[in-house]
A and B are shown apart, each in its own frame.
Chain A
Amino acid sequence: MRRDWPLYLLILALAGALIAWNAVPLRDHSLHIRTSDLSFVPDPVLARMLNLGQNGAASKLQWIDSFSYFELQLDKRDDTLRGSGQSGFERLYTQLTAEDPYYGPFYEHASFNIGALTGRHDISLGFLLRGLSYMPHATQLWRQAAAELYASYDFDKRHPDEMNAFLDAWAENELDYVQRRQVWDWKNAMARRHDMGLGQLTYWQEQMHLYPPDSPGGRYIDNAMREEVAHYGVRELEALLYAYREHYIMAPLQLSEVLAPQLVRERFPMGLNVYLPYTIADHQLVLRDDPYGYPFLLIDGQVVSPGLQQRVFGPRPGKLLQNIGEYLAKHPQVPFPQDLETVRALGIEVPALAPQAHYLFTPAAHSITVSWDPPPGRPWPLTQQAGHLQH
């Protein structure tokens, strides 16, 4: 024991020196941007060979290690590799997804890094779709792919049918009911964006199933839907009216003249929806009645939905009573008019009514009401409207 003391001393000295040496780098606590060289990212097949059967674990560890690469590239917004000039992220994630094709975060991060950072949305979308081919029920991948199509490709405006088909595929593969509802909401929102002015319709359609048609709730919903579709019809016909004036430099004599195929095609290049106030019959564009069964009218250069007027104003004569009141205030000696002819004879302006509406005078009560004939056509069966019409 005594003879060995120099050796013990040597062991202690060596151990002390080595521990101190190891501790030196640990004294630096400051934050450094770490960089990692991804110039050598092997081909996916080679990478799998080198992993010695531990593809899952190796891919995760390499992914974690590559975070140091991200830190620099996120600052530079450039992931070009020296030499080959390839995208570092693309090569890295091609390898990682080949090593573990069932790990969703690889595809999500690949999409984010390649799409958002380098602007290569085509590659980004490619990763997401590759992920979906392995995991068709992965909600996050569907959502990210749909967002990519919407935000980067404006798909819902440029290719609404394809976007619709994509969302249908998502809904079909979605296992979670709540998520599936969100896909439907997305589709509804898309329809709202596509057909401005029908925003509440899908809501009412959903609510309609909760109330019997003849119940107060059912009638309220039916009225709300008819009003919305009637307003939409008026707006669409006015849009065509303005387009007609711009194109032909003259106003149409009849409302049906605005249904010029060229103008309609410009407005709805993808086809007509079922809520439009016109449709195709015998290969011709024809006007429909408004949702209440009255024909749309062109009165004083403005499109009018008689049914909507009846709904909004009911029996109230509106401006006529106001005009008569103003006249009688100026001429107190004149009695309240007995009929419409007297009003016209006095030079009072008579607002135009739809042909199905008539002024009813009650002079004793100084009252005028409007009565309406029944609609000549059938009110729209709104509960059965669905889908799109063809060109």
Chain B
Amino acid sequence: MIWVIASATMRESIRSKAFLGLLALYLVAVLLSRIAGWISGTDGDVVTTSIVFSLQSIFGVLVAVATGTALVQTEIQQKTLYTILSRPVKRWHFVLGKFLGLSGSLIAGQVIMVLIGLVYLRATGAQVTGWALLAGLLTMLEVLVMASVSLCWTALTTPLVAVALCLATYALGHAVGELPNLLYHLHGVKLLLCSALAALVPDLSRFVYRDLALHQIPITAADLAGRVVYGLLWISLFVTITTVVFRRKQL
């Protein structure tokens, strides 16, 4: 049953206007990225590559938030949720199926984005290496973590608030990576409190390998595995929280 829900969700997500619209916008943004390279006063390849890598992350997260927050709400509004739950489907099956479907569509979107980006870079003369693919893989993981975050916030709040909270989580998630460089300002209780609060937020900077891949700085297999495990653990946590909240929800 999980796979049925997942495949249906994936089809629905891929057909959604938000998904297709953001993908089209990504394409336009990638095409325009070369302009920054032209006016940079250099050969422009590094500048363009850097922007293309970032666009994959930004648009990927936007797709994750836009489709993730709308998923359950659409089911409730269209009353299809009641049809599903009236069948012998456990709620955790529903949540997991929804997340897997969402993940499938996001992975498909990310693969398309990576392909568009790399083909464009290659076509415009920029150097494309295998490290770029690894960077794309880690960005994909970042997007999946954000998808689980969006699902969790949607279960806890309304879709509109969930969008705002998702974007805030995204900002905080990248900020906590730099926090250790500022902690020396704090002492005692403040230091403990700040560290504890920061530990509650997924450190999204762990998925940012793109800036190093740009300069072909290698990443070790152990480092890569560590980052992947870290991402999977956060996804598991958010999906579990969503399941618990959804099970307690009066529908």
A→B interface (CB under 8 Å): 45, 48-49, 51-58, 60-61, 63-64, 67, 100, 102-103, 105
Considering the complex of A and B, which 10 residue pairs feature the smallest CB-CB distances, nearest first?
Answer: A57-B54, A53-B174, A102-B215, A56-B211, A56-B50, A54-B54, A49-B175, A45-B181, A60-B47, A49-B178
B42 is an interface residue with CB less than 8 A from chain A:
yes
CB <8 Å contact, B36 and A56: no
CB <8 Å contact, B50 and A48: no
CB <8 Å contact, B54 and A56: yes
What sequence of 0s and 1s flags, for each residue 32-47 of chain B, a beta carbon within 8 Å of any chain A beta carbon? Answer: 0000100111100011
B205 is an interface residue with CB less than 8 A from chain A:
yes
Given the interface pairs A45-B181, A64-B39, A64-B40, the reply to whether A56 lies near B174 with Cβ below 8 Å is no
- B36 in complex: contacting residue of A48, A51, A60, CB < 8 Å: A60
Closest chain-A Cβ to B63's Cβ sits at a distance in Å of 16
**How many Å lie between the Cα of A48 and that of B208 in the bound state?**
12
CB <8 Å contact, B174 and A49: yes
CB <8 Å contact, A48 and B214: no
B170 is an interface residue with CB less than 8 A from chain A:
yes
CB <8 Å contact, B53 and A52: no
Which of A49, A52, A100 counts the most B-chain CB atoms under 10 A from its CB? Answer: A52
User: Which chain A positions have C-beta within 8 A of B210?
Assistant: 56
User: Which chain A positions have C-beta within 8 A of B205?
Assistant: 53
CB <8 Å contact, B170 and A52: yes
User: Which chain B positions have C-beta within 8 A of A54?
Assistant: 54, 57-58
User: Which chain B positions have C-beta within 8 A of A103?
Assistant: 46, 215
B51 is an interface residue with CB less than 8 A from chain A:
yes
Taking chain B's interface residues, is the majority helix, strand, or loop, or is none over half, making it mixed? helix
CB <8 Å contact, B174 and A52: yes
- Residues of B in contact (CB 8 Å), total 35
User: Which chain B positions have C-beta within 8 A of A45?
Assistant: 178, 181-182
What sequence of 0s and 1s flags, for each residue 93-135 of chain B, a beta carbon within 8 Å of any chain A beta carbon? Answer: 0000000000000000000000000000000000000000000
Taking chain A's interface residues, is the majority helix, strand, or loop, or is none over half, making it mixed? helix
What sequence of 0s and 1s flags, for each residue 165-187 of chain B, a beta carbon within 8 Å of any chain A beta carbon? Answer: 00000110111011101100000
User: Which chain B positions have C-beta within 8 A of A60?
Assistant: 36, 40, 46-47, 50-51
Closest chain-B Cβ to A97's Cβ sits at a distance in Å of 13
B225 is an interface residue with CB less than 8 A from chain A:
no
User: Which chain A positions have C-beta within 8 A of B191?
Assistant: none
User: Which chain A positions have C-beta within 8 A of B57?
Assistant: 53-54
Given contacts A56-B50, A60-B51, A64-B47, 16 further A-B contacts (CB under 8 A): A45-B178, A48-B177, A49-B179, A52-B170, A53-B174, A53-B207, A53-B208, A54-B58, A57-B50, A57-B54, A57-B55, A64-B39, A64-B40, A102-B211, A102-B212, A102-B217
User: Which chain B positions have C-beta within 8 A of A52?
Assistant: 170-171, 174-175
**How many Å lie between the Cα of A48 and that of B182 in the bound state?**
12
**How many Å lie between the Cα of A64 and that of B211 in the bound state?**
18
Closest chain-A Cβ to B142's Cβ sits at a distance in Å of 8
Given the interface pairs A45-B182, A61-B51, A103-B46, the reply to whether A53 lies near B204 with Cβ below 8 Å is yes
Given the interface pairs A53-B208, A56-B211, the reply to whether A63 lies near B40 with Cβ below 8 Å is yes
What sequence of 0s and 1s flags, for each residue 211-233 of chain B, a beta carbon within 8 Å of any chain A beta carbon? Answer: 11011010000000000000000
User: Which chain B positions have C-beta within 8 A of A48?
Assistant: 177-178
User: Which chain A positions have C-beta within 8 A of B214?
Assistant: 56, 100, 102
**How many Å lie between the Cα of A48 and that of B211 in the bound state?**
12
Closest chain-A Cβ to B39's Cβ sits at a distance in Å of 6
CB <8 Å contact, A61 and B46: no
**How many Å lie between the Cα of A103 and that of B39 in the bound state?**
16
User: Which chain A positions have C-beta within 8 A of B55?
Assistant: 57
Residue of B whose beta carbon sits closest to that of A135: B215
Which of B40, B179, B204 counts the most A-chain CB atoms under 10 A from its CB? Answer: B40
User: Which chain A positions have C-beta within 8 A of B215?
Assistant: 102-103
User: Which chain B positions have C-beta within 8 A of A61?
Assistant: 36, 51
CB <8 Å contact, B36 and A55: no
User: Which chain A positions have C-beta within 8 A of B42?
Assistant: 105
CB <8 Å contact, B174 and A51: yes
User: Which chain B positions have C-beta within 8 A of A102?
Assistant: 211-212, 214-215, 217
Closest chain-B Cβ to A279's Cβ sits at a distance in Å of 51
Closest chain-B Cβ to A69's Cβ sits at a distance in Å of 14
